[in-house]
Structure 1
Amino acid sequence: MASLCLATYPDANSPKIAENAVALVKQIDAALHAVAINVDIPDVSNALSSYLLDLPHKIREVEATSRKCGSVLLEAIAKAAAHGGVTLTTQLLTAPPALMGDVAAEQSRYFDVCLAGWAPGNQTARMIAEAILFGSGRPALLLPDSTDVGVLDHVVIAWDGSRVAARAVADARAFLEHASMITVVTVTDEKPLPGQDIDERLAQGLRTRGLVAEAASIQAGDRSIGTALQEHALKIGGKLLVMGGYGHSRVRDFVLGGATEGILADLRLPVLLSH
């Protein structure tokens, strides 16, 4: 079962998320639960604010815009699901702007994988994705808002032998089992690694399980680790990048690892992040 939490305000997801989410869950034979989180702004009106700024009216306008975006997105998903033969359930929730990520994380805990749309500069989508990654206990799969997902037949695993990387591999099982090729990639010049040929060791373990897997070692050079991994994945025809999500949250501020920050800052293909 997959969930999809939709950003509605101030930066809404693109309707493209409907096609991409349905195409993805169909590939792993999953059902989809789509949640539109509409903004609910607390009433801060008083006589002065009503007279000078007409805040109650502005709040109503903002909330109406959010509800409209949520309805449009859910309608698009319902249409795509019906066309693709995907089982769909939908839900409407409301939350204050600062708590939209918390609500998304709480809802996501009931599903196996959590989808989130992604577009450059969409801070609402980023807030929701980070909250799901660090607060749901489930893997977060980021989908580019502007391109077609396509068939995720080549999965690239970013492997450094760490706990979070191992967790990511386990969380990606459904995608690995449906892939025709898996490439295990280790970046050798970014940090000390826990042994030699760790990429080949994981690839061999996957082959023992009946999967088609190979190993590859790369160097990041002067590129960020997130850029290096995505560029190599695209170079070899990778359709999905699987990696551990490094970082932790302090209240509602997220302290991210370098690779995670690089992915969130410049997403170039679908990425499954697991914390």
Structure 2
Amino acid sequence: MKLMTCLLLTTYPEANTVKIASNAAALARQLGAALHAIAVNVDIPDVSNALSSYLLDLPSKIREVEATSRKYGKTLLEAVAKEASQGGVTLSTQEITAPPALMGDTAAEHSRYFDICLVGWAPDNPSARVTAEALVFGSGRPTLLLPDYDDVGVVGHVVIAWDGSRVAARAVADARPFLELASKVTVVTVTDEKPLPGKDIGERLARGLIMRGLTVETALIQAGSRSIAAALQEHALKIGGKLLVMGGYGHSRVRDFVLGGATEGVLADLRLPILLSH
């Protein structure tokens, strides 16, 4: 059965860069997956009255913003189509609309019909972060955060952030398509962040992955004065990791206020592709 990936493209108030097109197509090609790209365009309700229309020409401004959003969406979809064609990736596209406050939730609802969600991330794009949060906690699917500013490359070395928790186990299961392609897997456990369910939890996971035919190493690290997100990402990059797999901690209804430290950290400062699963 062919894997189906879904790329959610943000267009308002900040749009993804076209780099997401090449990265998404590259990931889909490596996975042998089909790609469905969705441009999420804004639909602003008209709440103007006679006075606001006279003084501010609010309806005209709303139409202008919506037109800009659709223009960004069209540009991004065209870029994805070009990259998919060049890479031999099966592609389908879609445009949807949503009010500003519901763009992330609408993206999450549409992504539930696919296997893996893809979303671009950039440090100066809060819209991409909002979409990523909504997908992680509302889609029911693993969400792959892709840097908007750099090439993903070949995902040959997969790093697993492992603490023995339910969400970490869910993330490992969801990462199976990437693990099957990996030439190397490293299981990393941070030992000074919180109590762990055992001293050998990394080795236990590694043994199970080795029995499945994977090449696996383990590592114990300490965060020290760094955030756990920084510690995990820095170690992954140090050992040549191309993808970090980790559980997403948080609560969907209050995700703006209750996010786990590692989840908050990577959403604020992404340094490599990260697969988050809740």
Shorter-normalised TM range: over 0.9
The equivalent of 1:164 in structure 2 is 167
- Alpha-carbon distance between aligned partners in 2 of 1:92 and 1:252, rounded to the nearest angstrom: 26
TM-score (norm 2): 0.98
Contact 2:186/2:219, CA 8 A, preserved across alignment: yes
Identity of aligned residues (%): 78
Q: Which amino acid aligns with 1:204?
A: R
- Alpha-carbon distance between aligned partners in 1 of 2:12 and 2:146, rounded to the nearest angstrom: 18
- Alpha-carbon distance between aligned partners in 2 of 1:266 and 1:196, rounded to the nearest angstrom: 29
- Alpha-carbon distance between aligned partners in 2 of 1:59 and 1:262, rounded to the nearest angstrom: 34
Q: CA deviation at 1:255?
A: 1.7
- Alpha-carbon distance between aligned partners in 2 of 1:44 and 1:57, rounded to the nearest angstrom: 12
- Alpha-carbon distance between aligned partners in 2 of 1:199 and 1:175, rounded to the nearest angstrom: 19
The equivalent of 1:12 in structure 2 is 15
Q: Which amino acid aligns with 1:220?
A: A
The equivalent of 1:149 in structure 2 is 152
The equivalent of 2:68 in structure 1 is 65
Q: Which amino acid aligns with 1:201?
A: R
The equivalent of 2:81 in structure 1 is 78
The equivalent of 2:241 in structure 1 is 238
- Work out which of the residue numbers 80, 88, 91 in structure 1 matches 2:91: 88
- Work out which of the residue numbers 219, 222, 226 in structure 1 matches 2:225: 222
CA shift in 2, pair 1:252/1:229, >3 Å: closer
Q: Which amino acid aligns with 2:130?
A: M
- Alpha-carbon distance between aligned partners in 2 of 1:206 and 1:252, rounded to the nearest angstrom: 32
Contact 1:130/1:254, CA 8 A, preserved across alignment: no
Residue deviations 1:188-215 (CA, integer Å, cap 9, x gap) = 0000000111111111110000011111
Asked if 1:21 corresponds to 2:24, the answer is yes
Contact 2:159/2:186, CA 8 A, preserved across alignment: yes
CA shift in 2, pair 1:201/1:251, >3 Å: closer
- Alpha-carbon distance between aligned partners in 2 of 1:142 and 1:73, rounded to the nearest angstrom: 17
Contact 1:133/1:245, CA 8 A, preserved across alignment: yes
- Alpha-carbon distance between aligned partners in 2 of 1:241 and 1:249, rounded to the nearest angstrom: 22
Contact 2:133/2:255, CA 8 A, preserved across alignment: no
TM-score (norm 1): 0.99
Q: Which amino acid aligns with 2:127?
A: T
Helix, strand or coil at the partner of 2:258: strand
Q: How many correspondences in the alignment?
A: 275
- Alpha-carbon distance between aligned partners in 2 of 1:66 and 1:263, rounded to the nearest angstrom: 27
Residue deviations 1:7-54 (CA, integer Å, cap 9, x gap) = 001110000000000001111111000000100000112110011111
Q: Which amino acid aligns with 2:271?
A: R
Q: Which amino acid aligns with 1:114?
A: C
Helix, strand or coil at the partner of 1:199: helix
The equivalent of 1:114 in structure 2 is 117
Q: Which amino acid aligns with 2:120?
A: G
CA shift in 2, pair 1:46/1:109, >3 Å: same
Q: CA deviation at 1:252?
A: 6.8
Gaps of 5+ in 1: none
Q: Which amino acid aligns with 2:81?
A: A
- Alpha-carbon distance between aligned partners in 2 of 1:213 and 1:205, rounded to the nearest angstrom: 10
Gaps of 5+ in 2: none
Aligned-residue CA RMSD in angstroms? 0.8
Aligned pairs for 1:29-68 (under 5 A) are: 29-68=32-71
- Alpha-carbon distance between aligned partners in 1 of 2:13 and 2:135, rounded to the nearest angstrom: 19
Q: Which amino acid aligns with 2:38?
A: V
- Alpha-carbon distance between aligned partners in 2 of 1:89 and 1:214, rounded to the nearest angstrom: 38
